[in-house]
Structure 1
């Protein structure tokens, strides 16, 4: 006995294609909203992904004779930013001679022998191996310290906020372009029903191609002011040549060439005229293009660069396949394909999605282990906290995806595409935010580097100038952390000239923890400079009290409150 079933009439293919195409701006709007939700995070300091490990002379050193060169040693290889490595003399004029020499992680700066005594300022801005700028400075003195020099040659401005934000936005646009390009190309090559029009998917794919191209060109442009610390339009031929000659620029130029080749192969594919050989070639070119992302970013500078580059490429590919496939499902297939077609398509897509998610989780785990380094860095650094947020959101996505997969495995999705469409929509919405977090992560100092920076004591350095009725006292505490600390004292008169000191005494106390004052042994190095070592065993606001006697009867006491972490 035959069972008659009643099927709802399907809209004509052209009408359905037009309906799906009309919704395309909504999906693009969702991508933009997701970007704003994550890129509007509070601005952070410039992401320096290399750390100044040591210098010769060291910071705050007092030398009897001027050095012939200053040597900077970083934790990883660095590149030159034209005219951004400088040594400023006590009179505010530059004393560095010629170009600094770059040899991997070591930068050597020749210094002119002017014979001037006082404090010198070393100012630097270089590019780390992962294409991010690193800037900073320190002082050393010849003979006796003086006031820190200043002048037009000192690069005092930070990174331009428009450029910094624009760099994140461009990263997001590039990722969104990959999503709208890779997944849809895979679906239309292997899963698209022959009877359906390809005009709607073609619009999505060409949009993805346009976004990737735009992001690549904008990335090259923005890298110039991002490198030099200039504004959005501070781009000249010299800066552009410097960027294009770097690994970052080479990777972007290769990507542009591959985009052109891929575009030529896409035209016959979107007309349904491509063959198996063209599809294989398209896959090879697409894979090569994806590798240009990790080569120009963090993975290229990781401790295991080869592993990190491959893992990041797998991560990007899995993301683009999964999210791009979801876009095709929700925008076209679940609206246009009939029950028989969905019955054939959805089980295959479900297996693909499971493989993509599995690869995404595995690659993401390996990435996190390499970039985070230690469990402590996971919770104490911005990079680690963003990883945690990404994992939480990704867990929500997996829960929704599991629900969608159950619908497919039970055979309910072809009969009830609306339920699957809603689930896929939620899945896609959450992953849009995850994509934005990924764009922010790329511009954030990796946790392993941030932890190394803290260990080197840079962020914990304390300096202050205290006033009394007799003198000014500059107090430097390094690294202002629990444990051993070095204390340097510099005395000046009211005109900021070095002031000879007859006797130095000092003590440290932690009133909040009832720690009584402990003497700080002080050793005079020059008439106005003394140094000492002290162990601060607890965290908290330590009170450092110094009494300075400048004659038989004239003395005064000043107090510095030093936060110790």
Structure 2
């Protein structure tokens, strides 16, 4: 027990420390890299199209990419397309001088929507604030709550549909005759289908940013069914139907035949694969490894939690024979220990890809959810340890312990029917008697401790269901690596008392707490670099009443200034303001806000 606990804690330490500190520099979630025209750009002529480039391939699916004029009317042709990692939005050819707002909501490869807005100006128009699209890309709160619930239902159902049969195959063959366990497995299969159908219906509104009233929208359903995520949900329902046929045959026979085991195993593995092959694992670096790790993670979860549910519904019931309890607990204890190890190892792999750094672990929603899951897993291991210690002490589950030697005494020989009986093949009657006595002792011990064991297993299962709920939310949360810091790259008009007088390009990298690199480029109305008489940059965080903080600038060329090591003292929504004096009589300002995590 001590060796098993030490190994598990060591792996958990890797999960929290090494795993999140040694990840490769890639993100399993699409992010906007650049736009053409650039944000805040002022153009002499209207462009033929708007191009948005992302870190990885995206799909429009149920999403959109639109261009609106200052009056809120669409000026795109309505035929946006995806070209590699870019989304191209063709524009009408008769655009007037005006400000234009680009809004988009596309679907990343991990099935999560990526939304935002930016604006540009043609001719003498006025810049449309990007905040004019505020709320347009938000996920409906009902849809946002219903999707994790549907995922939780699918996870819980998978645990019953896969974990209970595995328990019966490996630890308690007599349980195939239990009608209660049959109902549990049937309910699990139904829950998997229900979760898949709900997820299929909700994915469209989730991607489009619409409400639950649009779940039956034919266009959204068609877009979802044509996506990889929709295909996985549909395949999941088909696999459940096939697995139900195999299990029904097993229940009728009362025990599985070899073909049933093979067919059921293949179908169960494929069913687990449909859970692993969606979401974060399919995007980002090494998707093959990530999907395999996720599949092992899901399978281990199902075997462990489903086995616990099977024990509660079977051998841990008062009316169950004590001999069955003594028979089932040792092999399941070993199976659970293996499942825990698999869960932690694959958790390391997943955290390496999706967290990336200790900073991301404590500054993002994904990181805090992962920490909450870790705490719950530690509680789960503590509850499991209570049960495992008891099984080891009373039922002899020790891998390294040699089998006890059977000693045949003179008293045992006297109980035999004579020398001839001792020469017959098979175990000696005294050995059989000793084995029967040991089985009786084990059964009596199991029966005496059944209430305590039932309470411990019930705690394990309850905490495990909460872990499933946190996991269901994690699946729908952008990875910490993608959310930890987003560099700022924006072009803003310089406002003077007489109107606009050129523009300023601002770049902040990585836009995180601590040292940052600032680049400021000043351009005249013709788009050429211009040298101001004076320039000042300040940082302010109004909500926390921080600032203004002066940023030290160094000239790096005509109209180019660098703030190397610009310190941002804490997280929040910061405002960066640029004040320039163009000549003795003209001064202007420009400012932008950005999140810091």
Of residues 482, 487, 493 in structure 2, which corresponds to 1:456? 487
For 2:299, the equivalent position in structure 1 comes to 317
Of residues 361, 364, 379 in structure 2, which corresponds to 1:396? 379
Task: Tell me by how many angstroms 1:369 deviates.
Answer: 1.1
1:453-499, Cα deviation, whole Å (9 max, x unpaired): x24337xx798999x998799998554943214478999xxxxxxxx
Distance 1:182 1:247 in 2: 24
Distance 1:324 1:82 in 2: 36
Distance 1:519 1:421, change over 3 A: closer
Please list, as runs of the form range in 1=range in 2, the aligned pairs for 1:248-397 lying within 5 A after superposition.
248-271=229-252, 272-335=254-317, 336-397=319-380
For 2:536, the equivalent position in structure 1 comes to 507
Distance 1:351 1:62 in 2: 68
Please list, as runs of the form range in 1=range in 2, the aligned pairs for 1:18-29 lying within 5 A after superposition.
none
For 1:437, the equivalent position in structure 2 comes to 470
Q: Which structure 2 residue ranges, 5 or more long, are not aligned?
A: 1-26, 395-444, 526-531, 541-545
Distance 2:132 2:493 in 1: 23
Distance 2:483 2:132 in 1: 31
Distance 1:121 1:488 in 2: 23
Q: Say whether the 8 Å CA contact 1:330–1:424 is kept in structure 2.
A: yes
CA RMSD, Structure 1 to Structure 2 (Å): 3.9
Greater alpha carbon shift after TM alignment, 555-564 vs 174-183:
555-564
Distance 1:88 1:403, change over 3 A: same
Structure 2 residue matching 1:60: 3-state secondary structure: coil
1:111-152, Cα deviation, whole Å (9 max, x unpaired): 223252232222111111011111112112223451418999
Distance 1:113 1:548, change over 3 A: farther
For 2:517, the equivalent position in structure 1 comes to 483
Task: Tell me by how many angstroms 1:330 deviates.
Answer: 2.1
Distance 1:178 1:268, change over 3 A: same
1:231 and 2:172 aligned? no
For 2:563, the equivalent position in structure 1 comes to 535
Structure 2 residue matching 1:334: 3-state secondary structure: coil
Q: Which has the larger radius of gyration?
A: 2
Structure 2 residue matching 1:233: 3-state secondary structure: helix
Q: Say whether the 8 Å CA contact 1:57–1:71 is kept in structure 2.
A: yes
Task: Tell me by how many angstroms 1:534 deviates.
Answer: 5.1
Greater alpha carbon shift after TM alignment, 258-267 vs 117-126:
117-126
Task: Tell me by how many angstroms 1:547 deviates.
Answer: 7.0
Q: Which structure 1 residue ranges, 5 or more long, are not aligned?
A: 1-46, 492-502, 525-530
Which aligned runs of 4 or more in structure 1 are off by greater than 6 angstroms? 149-155, 461-466, 468-476, 487-491, 510-524, 547-550, 555-564
Q: Say whether the 8 Å CA contact 1:133–1:227 is kept in structure 2.
A: yes
Distance 1:258 1:515 in 2: 60
For 1:206, the equivalent position in structure 2 comes to 186
Structure 2 residue matching 1:225: 3-state secondary structure: helix
Q: Say whether the 8 Å CA contact 2:57–2:86 is kept in structure 1.
A: yes
1:524-559, Cα deviation, whole Å (9 max, x unpaired): 9xxxxxx87452722257784747799x98x78879
For 2:167, the equivalent position in structure 1 comes to 187
Q: Say whether the 8 Å CA contact 1:87–1:122 is kept in structure 2.
A: yes
Structure 1 residue matching 2:346: 3-state secondary structure: helix
Structure 1 residue matching 2:488: 3-state secondary structure: coil
Distance 1:548 1:144, change over 3 A: farther
Distance 2:491 2:313 in 1: 57
Distance 1:288 1:518, change over 3 A: closer
Task: Tell me by how many angstroms 1:193 deviates.
Answer: 5.2
Of residues 134, 139, 143 in structure 2, which corresponds to 1:163? 143
Q: Say whether the 8 Å CA contact 1:522–1:532 is kept in structure 2.
A: yes
Greater alpha carbon shift after TM alignment, 427-436 vs 469-478:
469-478
Task: Tell me by how many angstroms 1:284 deviates.
Answer: 0.6
Distance 2:382 2:329 in 1: 18
Distance 1:319 1:488, change over 3 A: farther
Distance 1:456 1:563 in 2: 9
Task: Tell me by how many angstroms 1:217 deviates.
Answer: 0.6
Task: Tell me by how many angstroms 1:190 deviates.
Answer: 4.1
Task: Tell me by how many angstroms 1:394 deviates.
Answer: 0.8
For 2:389, the equivalent position in structure 1 comes to 406
Greater alpha carbon shift after TM alignment, 250-259 vs 312-321:
250-259
Q: Say whether the 8 Å CA contact 2:51–2:89 is kept in structure 1.
A: yes
1:257-306, Cα deviation, whole Å (9 max, x unpaired): 11111111121223315422112101110110111112121111131111
Q: Say whether the 8 Å CA contact 2:492–2:590 is kept in structure 1.
A: no
Distance 1:300 1:542 in 2: 36
Instruction: Report the TM-score, using the length of structure 2 for normalisation.
Output: 0.73
Distance 1:440 1:516 in 2: 41
Instruction: Report the TM-score, using the length of structure 1 for normalisation.
Output: 0.77
Q: Say whether the 8 Å CA contact 1:96–1:112 is kept in structure 2.
A: yes
Task: Tell me by how many angstroms 1:174 deviates.
Answer: 0.7
Distance 1:168 1:117 in 2: 46
Of residues 31, 54, 70 in structure 2, which corresponds to 1:51? 31
1:14-66, Cα deviation, whole Å (9 max, x unpaired): xxxxxxxxxxxxxxxxxxxxxxxxxxxxxxxxx99310011122211222332
Task: Tell me by how many angstroms 1:358 deviates.
Answer: 1.0
